[in-house]
């Protein structure tokens, strides 16, 4: 196993001779997407005319199907099949694994008469057109024996249990230290259920060729999807060819396979023709996963000088009764602020509602909404500027593990952001700044998010025309993966960007873990870099070993790669000439990256600081974001444009989190109150008027050979809290229940006599 020391030496990426690393290169696939010619999973043209599937979903939260009347649906025009738990083709049992190395177990659809949550798939229609399938779906009549369901989180908080295998983390003596603290905050914050609402719903186009199935599907993890389908169909995974070339947003919600994949594959086999299945927008809410609600109690105890003596963050969250998931809302806080006495932990309530799961920055996204407001509250009690309070609690080493930080530029983010945003304009006393009917205020929050490197491989081919093609079972969920992999490959091999092709999202390609946890760029990118280095060595050997090459006989370790050439001193030839002459069928190599054995000897995170200015309508309680600025430190930046889009996108999520975005379970039905984009409110253009972000110069040589880190989730961390703190500064209303909709703000204004 490698060591982080192996990564310290200069390399083509860190030297960046052609300047491609960091350059704001346009998206590799941008033109295809904006011209509507990038085929997403549902739009892929199959080899024969397809049939269309439509799912029918449960309208109770828990119980048993006692009867399904399918005759009218079966007789509906164009219908090819109607499936229920009684006649669905055989599948493996849920959780089964034929191959113990499968990343995901079987996940059968329509597996039994049991209903475990509202919106569970309970029947499936296959028809000659989508319209006929949807029309027939309306004709399925289902009778249930409903059972008592637990669907009300706030009424079930006392049912919370420790998540499996977890304990609270106690350091020092929190209760004693808290009791002895001179200034304290003890408040409870609530982060609601959120839905991913990706632009592209989950969808699959499937067809069989003999005993092998090809599925084009929208999923973040290629291997996970391939293995899940293989296990569900009880076939070896090499008989599942999974392709996911373009993905219209994932955000964690497409980290796993859903019933569209299973049913498309089953139906295509059953009718002997390709099948397309997609979730409707409404079905996405219940049928996939959501970010669960979290109630968080934060206790801060400080000395009069603002140094934290006691710190606690206790989170209660929920998951589906039979699908364990824990939103680890307290974890981030273990690495953030210094305090000798600490308590963090989670409780999990199991309910009969749709599955909770990962959503952009799971843990940090809701978790920072509590602590970063509590810090604001503490700062006010101490009479300290909230930036100064954070600076006074900046640890020298990781506050829980004692490990050194790889790089930690939180202080620099705070200083730089304060300067650029104009934090000095802020009046620390709330409710003092008025602009017409708007009360104006400013707030800030820190950001932290872990950085990870997972094992990954990549393949690289150079053909006789000099074109390099990188292949990787990686995904681009809209983040810019195609683009950065092209940049890495071009810089490593010293060729112009136009000479590089990137092919992703195919289970036949060398595997990568996919997109999630903001590990994608570092993981897939490092594998691409290592593979590029293998190609350099291979081409150097080829040239120096070929009597016809001008480099013949030279030391292969001394050759350089630049401008599409391989060269040593004055001897040079183009890569195209070399390959065309010496190996005209092309050269293909593979490479891989693994985490360094000692990488976890360092506390390794990405950091940032958010600054927000909002207006609060003093009459109506409406809140509008006026300005937002973020400063981030996340290692070496590969592409200024796509990286900025990632963090500003995260900040916009923060605005939605603070102001509008939420779902609730209607306790009468067990269903979500909001089931479309007219009721589940994400920010629109008019909400985001002046928002920008910058990155600090940084390279983290403990992270990976390129010194880069992830940026996909950092931007959302803390962003909502900055907006909440700005609301308080604007009008003096301290809300702890997200989102801060006009009704809640108005109630606060009225309580203050405004």
Partner 1 sequence: MKPFTYERASDVASAIQAVSQTPGARYLAGGTNLLDLMKLEIETPTHLVDVSRLPLATIEASAEGGVRLGAMTRNSQVAAHPDIRARYPALVQAIVSGGSGQLRNKATTAGNLMQRTRCSFFYDTAKPCNKRQPGSGCSALGSLSRANAIFGASEACVATHPSDMAVALVALDAQIETLRPDGTSRSLAVADLHRLPGTSPETESELAADELITSVNLPPPAPGGQLYRKVRARASYVGGLASVAVAGGRLVLGAVALKPWRAETAEAALASGASRTEAAMAELAQAQDPDQNAGKIALVRRLLGAVLDETNTGRGA
Which residue ranges make up the site for partner 1 (CB under 8 A)? 59, 77, 131, 134-135, 138, 437, 617, 619-622, 624, 659-660, 664, 666, 668-669, 671, 673-676, 678-679, 681, 683-687, 741-743, 746-747, 750
Alpha-helical regions (H) of 278-385: 281-287, 364-382
Whichever of 525 and 615 has its CB closer to partner 1, that residue is 615
Give the CA angle between residues 516, 458, 475 to the nearest 5°.
30
- Smallest distance, partner 1 to C-beta of residue 497, A: 35
Whichever of 135 and 257 has its CB closer to partner 1, that residue is 135
CB atoms within 10 A of CB 545: 14
CB atoms within 10 A of CB 477: 28
Whichever of 362 and 683 has its CB closer to partner 1, that residue is 683
Alpha carbons within 13 angstroms on the beta-carbon side of residue 431 total 10
- Smallest distance, partner 1 to C-beta of residue 753, A: 13
- Cβ contact 460:588 at 8 Å: yes
- Smallest distance, partner 1 to C-beta of residue 689, A: 8
Those residues with Cβ within 8 angstroms of residue 373's Cβ, 6 or more apart along the chain or in another chain: 187, 189, 445, 721, 724, 725, 734, 736
Sign, CA torsion 109/477/451/3: positive
Helix 520-544 with 575-582: angle, nearest 10 deg: 60
Structure tokens at 462: 């150079």
Those residues with Cβ within 8 angstroms of residue 243's Cβ, 6 or more apart along the chain or in another chain: 44, 214, 215, 216, 217, 505, 506, 507
- Smallest distance, partner 1 to C-beta of residue 286, A: 10
Strands of 407-437, DSSP E: 434-435
Given 29, 327, 530, 713, which residue is catalytic?
713
Whichever of 210 and 436 has its CB closer to partner 1, that residue is 436
CA distances from 703 to 536, 634, 643 (A): 23, 10, 17
| Closest alpha carbon to 19 in 640, 631, 591 | 640
Query: Is residue 231 annotated as a catalytic residue, yes or no?
Result: no
Lookup result for tokens 């304990």: 167
State phi, psi for 539 to the nearest 5 degrees.
Answer: -70, -35
- Smallest distance, partner 1 to C-beta of residue 109, A: 20
- Smallest distance, partner 1 to C-beta of residue 317, A: 20
Whichever of 518 and 674 has its CB closer to partner 1, that residue is 674
* Cα–Cα distance for residue pair 503/561, rounded to 1 Å: 23
Beta bridge partners of 457: 592
- Smallest distance, partner 1 to C-beta of residue 113, A: 19
Whichever of 82 and 240 has its CB closer to partner 1, that residue is 82
> Over 16-84, what HEC string results?
CCCCCCECCCCCCCHHHHHCCCCCCHHHCCCCCCCEEEEEEECCCCCEEEEEEECHHHHCCCCEEEEEC
CB atoms within 10 A of CB 381: 16
Structure tokens at 196: 């991913």
State phi, psi for 659 to the nearest 5 degrees.
Answer: -110, -35
- Cβ contact 44:216 at 8 Å: yes
Whichever of 401 and 620 has its CB closer to partner 1, that residue is 620
Structure tokens at 148: 């008592």
- Smallest distance, partner 1 to C-beta of residue 674, A: 7
Structure tokens at 88: 């669905």
Alpha-helical regions (H) of 545-681: 575-582, 640-659
Helices (H) and strands (E) in the chain, counts: 17, 31
| Closest alpha carbon to 419 in 444, 383, 449 | 444
Lookup result for tokens 């796993």: 256
Whichever of 358 and 616 has its CB closer to partner 1, that residue is 616
Whichever of 259 and 398 has its CB closer to partner 1, that residue is 259
- Smallest distance, partner 1 to C-beta of residue 149, A: 15
| Closest alpha carbon to 288 in 216, 196, 365, 364 | 196
- Smallest distance, partner 1 to C-beta of residue 441, A: 18
What spatial distance separates the first Cα and last Cα of the chain, rounded to whole Å?
A: 64
Whichever of 190 and 311 has its CB closer to partner 1, that residue is 190
The pairing of beta strand 500-504 with beta strand 468-472: parallel
Whichever of 255 and 683 has its CB closer to partner 1, that residue is 683
- Smallest distance, partner 1 to C-beta of residue 566, A: 53
Whichever of 331 and 674 has its CB closer to partner 1, that residue is 674
- Smallest distance, partner 1 to C-beta of residue 679, A: 5
Those residues with Cβ within 8 angstroms of residue 204's Cβ, 6 or more apart along the chain or in another chain: 41, 42, 215, 216, 217, 218, 260, 261, 264, 265, 276, 277, 278
Helix 222-233 with 259-271: angle, nearest 10 deg: 50
Whichever of 164 and 436 has its CB closer to partner 1, that residue is 436
- Smallest distance, partner 1 to C-beta of residue 59, A: 4
Lookup result for tokens 């970010």: 291
Beta bridge partners of 55: 124
Enzyme catalytic residues: 713
């Amino acid at each position: 196993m490698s060591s982080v020391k192996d990564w310290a030496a200069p390399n083509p990426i860190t030297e960046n001779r052609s300047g491609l690393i960091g350059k704001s290169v346009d998206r590799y696939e941008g033109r295809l997407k904006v011209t509507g010619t990038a085929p997403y999973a549902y739009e892929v043209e199959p080899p024969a005319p397809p049939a269309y599937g439509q799912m029918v979903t449960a309208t109770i939260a828990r119980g048993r199907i006692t009867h399904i009347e399918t005759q009218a649906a079966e007789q509906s025009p164009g219908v090819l099949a109607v499936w229920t738990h009684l006649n669905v083709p055989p599948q493996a049992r849920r959780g089964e694994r034929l191959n113990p190395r499968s990343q995901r177990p079987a996940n059968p659809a329509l597996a039994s008469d049991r209903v475990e949550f509202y919106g569970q798939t309970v029947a499936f229609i296959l028809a000659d057109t989508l319209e006929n399938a949807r029309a027939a779906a309306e004709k399925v009549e289902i009778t249930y024996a409903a059972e008592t369901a637990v669907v009300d989180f706030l009424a079930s908080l006392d049912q919370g249990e420790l998540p499996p295998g977890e304990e609270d983390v106690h350091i020092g003596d929190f209760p004693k230290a808290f009791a002895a603290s001179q200034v304290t905050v003890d408040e409870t914050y609530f982060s609601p259920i959120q839905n991913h609402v990706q632009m592209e719903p989950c969808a699959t186009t499937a067809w069989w060729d003999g005993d092998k199935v090809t599925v084009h599907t929208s999923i973040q993890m290629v291997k996970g999807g391939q293995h899940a389908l293989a296990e569900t169909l009880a076939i070896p995974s090499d008989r599942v060819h999974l392709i996911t070339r373009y993905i219209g947003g994932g955000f964690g919600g497409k980290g796993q396979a859903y019933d569209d994949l299973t049913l498309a594959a089953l139906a295509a086999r059953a009718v002997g023709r390709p099948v397309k299945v997609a979730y409707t927008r409404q079905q996405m809410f219940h049928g996939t996963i959501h970010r669960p609600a979290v109630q968080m109690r934060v206790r801060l105890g400080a000395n009069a000088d603002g140094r934290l003596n006691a710190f606690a963050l206790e989170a209660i969250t929920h998951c589906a009764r039979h699908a364990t998931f824990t939103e680890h809302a307290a974890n981030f806080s273990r690495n953030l602020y210094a305090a000798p006495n600490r308590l963090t932990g989670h409780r999990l309530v199991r309910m009969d509602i749709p599955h909770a799961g990962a959503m952009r920055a799971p843990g940090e996204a809701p978790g920072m909404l509590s602590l970063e407001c509590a810090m604001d509250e503490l700062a006010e009690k101490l009479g300290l500027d909230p930036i100064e309070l954070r600076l006074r609690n900046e640890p020298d080493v990781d506050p829980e593990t004692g490990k050194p930080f790889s790089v930690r530029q939180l202080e620099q983010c705070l200083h730089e952001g304060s300067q650029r945003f104009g934090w000095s304009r802020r009046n620390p006393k709330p409710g003092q700044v008025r602009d017409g009917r708007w009360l104006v205020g400013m707030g800030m929050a820190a950001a932290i998010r872990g950085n990870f490197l997972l094992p990954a491989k990549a393949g690289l081919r150079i053909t006789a025309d000099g074109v390099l093609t990188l292949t990787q079972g990686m995904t681009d969920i809209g983040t810019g993966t195609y683009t950065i992999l092209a940049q890495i490959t071009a810089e490593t091999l010293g060729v112009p960007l136009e000479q590089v092709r990137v092919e992703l999202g195919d289970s036949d390609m060398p595997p990568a873990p996919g997109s999630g946890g903001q590990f994608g760029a570092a993981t897939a990118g490092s594998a691409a870099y290592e593979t590029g280095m293998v190609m350099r060595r291979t081409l150097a050997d080829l040239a120096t070993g070929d009597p016809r090459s001008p480099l013949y006989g030279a030391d292969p370790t001394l050759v350089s790669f630049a401008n599409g050439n391989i060269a040593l001193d004055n001897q040079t030839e183009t890569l195209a000439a070399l390959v065309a002459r010496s190996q005209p069928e092309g050269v293909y190599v593979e490479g891989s990256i693994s985490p360094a054995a000692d990488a976890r000897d360092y506390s390794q995170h990405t950091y940032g600081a958010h600054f927000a200015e909002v207006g609060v309508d003093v009459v109506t309680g409406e809140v509008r974001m006026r300005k937002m600025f973020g400063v981030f430190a996340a290692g070496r930046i590969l592409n200024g444009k796509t990286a900025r889009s990632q963090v500003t996108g995260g900040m916009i999520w923060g605005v939605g989190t603070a102001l509008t975005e939420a779902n609730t379970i209607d306790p009468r039905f067990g269903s979500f109150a909001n089931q479309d984009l007219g009721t589940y409110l994400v920010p629109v253009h008019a909400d985001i008027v002046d928002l920008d972000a910058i990155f600090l110069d940084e390279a983290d040589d403990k992270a990976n050979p390129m010194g880069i880190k992830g940026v996909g989730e950092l931007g959302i961390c803390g962003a909502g809290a900055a907006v909440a703190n700005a609301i308080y500064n604007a009008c003096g209303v301290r809300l702890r229940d997200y989102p801060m909709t006009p009704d809640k703000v108005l109630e606060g204004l009225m309580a203050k006599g405004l």
